[in-house]
Amino acid sequence: MLLGVADPDSAAQEPGPHGRCVCGQKVAIADAHEITLPNGRAGWEGYCPECGAPLFAIRRGPRTSG
């Protein structure tokens, strides 16, 4: 049994925020910049490096147990 072996094509190796594009791929958001939504939540905005479509992702905060 092999434990801790990472997939070399894994998206976890790519730096920066990720989002799912309309072209069907999970990609690192190109030219990502932080934005704040009207409700106060933080997010990322940029575009897909594969097809150029605009992308948006809500930033996740640290998970708390409770």
Which sequence spans correspond to the domains of the chain?
17-58
Task: Give me the count of residues in the chain.
Answer: 66
Tell me, what's the pLDDT at 23? 83
Tell me, what's the pLDDT at 18? 86
Spatial contact of 48 and 21, defined as CB atoms under 8 Å apart: yes
Spatial contact of 33 and 5, defined as CB atoms under 8 Å apart: no
pLDDT tens per residue, range 39-57: 899 999 999 988 889 988 8
15 pLDDT more than 90: no
To the question of pTM greater than 0.85 for the whole model, the response is: no
37 pLDDT more than 80: yes
Spatial contact of 12 and 18, defined as CB atoms under 8 Å apart: no
Percent of the chain with pLDDT over 90: 18
